[in-house]
Amino acid sequence: MKNWAGNVEYSTQDIRHPASTAEVSAIVVDAGASGGQVKALGSRHSFSTIADSVGTLVALDELAIEPSLQFGDDGVAVSVRVGAGSTYAQVGAFLAARDLALPNLASLPHISVGGAIQTGTHGSGVRNGSLASSVLALEIVRGSGEVEIVREHDPDFAASVVGLGAVGIVTAVTLRVEPHFQISQYVHEGLSWRNALANWSAIMSSGYSVSVFTTFQGENTHQVWSKRRLDRDGPELDLAALGATEAKVALHPLPGVAANSVTGQLREPGPWNERLAHFRSEFQPSHGEEIQSEYLIPAEHAVAAIDALRAIGDRIAPLLHISELRSVAADTAWLSPSYARDSLAIHFTWKPLPAEILTVLPLVEHTLESFAPRPHWGKVSTMSPARLRRAYPRLDDFAAHVRRVDPAGRFENDYLKRVLPHD
């Protein structure tokens, strides 16, 4: 079996689909009895080998955990407990039907909650943290088969919520919810880099969630996607006054690709769960003809980093479908790429040319080096363990935590052996 993009073939054919947390525990105990390894598998949307295993893969997609709401003393819903294998599309539909919302979504709603939070997956928005920052509690099956609940204020929480699948198999996740809100989404084309960079902070703060798409070539950005919250966002920044043109038809971020898969644009107000992701949940995205990489840098270096990447635009463009620039607010999860710093996320959607990509990534990483880039765990990077250690200040603490909660290395795989520091 392969990942969604087809660039990773899993090293095992032993893939289970347990229906209950008790079955997950039994699988982990069985694997332990034979000295084998075991790993949670989400919706297979990672591009790195993070989800691989030579032992048993445990997919959570058939886990029979129905979403359940928790209420405050005033009778208002404060959180929802969902099965970790649920997709954000499923959770979004459940919440929207009850007039509730999550604060943010990634670009694709088909991704599992467990897999997204474990890798620090994010959307955009200067005040929106990664998806893991909505987590209030995790139910985790440890290597012994025991089930542990780790809550927001527990000492282990910051090491567990973005846990790279290394701390156990998460069977249920409790997410903070808020009242339902509506979003109006629209796209501008042709914003010049000169005006974009002169007004960068204002542009990224001009909506609830803003994305700038680019190939890093030429004098203009490709598209600016603005997602405005109708209940909250203040006066709009006039991108037309900065020389951009508002699109009159719906647009896909990739030039020349039909827009039938994108969420509603053209300012048509819609529920949060049908606007915050770029792609519609009812549209089955094809098995990706793409590979992705992403690096998060401190937001204050945005303009300098973009300038540096534009200077190598001609080197990267031949391999690039498109890049996306987003904002992510700081959070507290040790391995979150936006840990303790408001960030600019610099994403690359590459053409499906794995060997060629491995030759250009060192150039990209070198270009970003002075901005202390943190690679996305679920995407492809060539950063050495030593550089990862510099980029992620709590990596040693995380590795020590993993040794404590998984002393037998039951959830280890080759990826973790490579990226985590050893004693």
Residues that bind ligand FAD (CB under 6 A): 4, 39-46, 50-51, 60, 84, 106-108, 111-112, 114-116, 118-119, 121-123, 164-165, 169-170, 288, 292, 376, 378
Give 102 or 242: the residue with its C-beta nearer to ligand FAD. Answer: 102
The position carrying tokens 């993993």 is: 402
Q: What is the DSSP string of 100-139?
A: EE-S---S-TTSBHHHHHHHT----BTT---GGGGEEEEE
CB of 280 to ligand FAD, least distance (A): 13
CB of 344 to ligand FAD, least distance (A): 13
CB of 311 to ligand FAD, least distance (A): 26
CB of 45 to ligand FAD, least distance (A): 3
CB of 2 to ligand FAD, least distance (A): 11
CB of 378 to ligand FAD, least distance (A): 2
CB of 385 to ligand FAD, least distance (A): 17
Q: How far is CA 82 from the centre of its chain?
A: 18
CB of 44 to ligand FAD, least distance (A): 5
d(CA 133, CA 313): 33
Which of 21, 53, 18 shows the shortest CA–CA distance to 146? 21
The position carrying tokens 């005033």 is: 74
Kind plus residue range of the DSSP H or E element containing 81: strand 77-83
Give 41 or 297: the residue with its C-beta nearer to ligand FAD. Answer: 41
Residue 289 phi/psi, 5° resolution? Answer: -90, 60
State the first-to-last Cα distance of the chain, in angstroms, to the nearest integer: 33
Give 228 or 326: the residue with its C-beta nearer to ligand FAD. Answer: 326
Give 40 or 357: the residue with its C-beta nearer to ligand FAD. Answer: 40
Q: Is 166 helix (H, G, I), strand (E, B) or coil?
A: coil
CB of 284 to ligand FAD, least distance (A): 12
Our CA angle for 202, 328, 271, nearest 5°, is 85
The position carrying tokens 């509603």 is: 264
Which amino acid does the sequence have at 26? Answer: A
Rg of the chain in Å (alpha carbons):
21
CA dihedral 28, 32, 37, 41 (to 10 degrees): 0
- Helices 302-311, 354-368: axis angle to 10 degrees equals 130
Which of 3, 113, 92, 114 shows the shortest CA–CA distance to 53? 3
Strand partners, 183: 229, 270
CB of 116 to ligand FAD, least distance (A): 5
d(CA 291, CA 6): 9
Residue 330 buriedness (CB in 10 A; 0-12 / 13-18 / 19+): middle
Kind plus residue range of the DSSP H or E element containing 270: strand 270-271
Token pair, residue 355, equals 């060997």
Give 251 or 419: the residue with its C-beta nearer to ligand FAD. Answer: 419
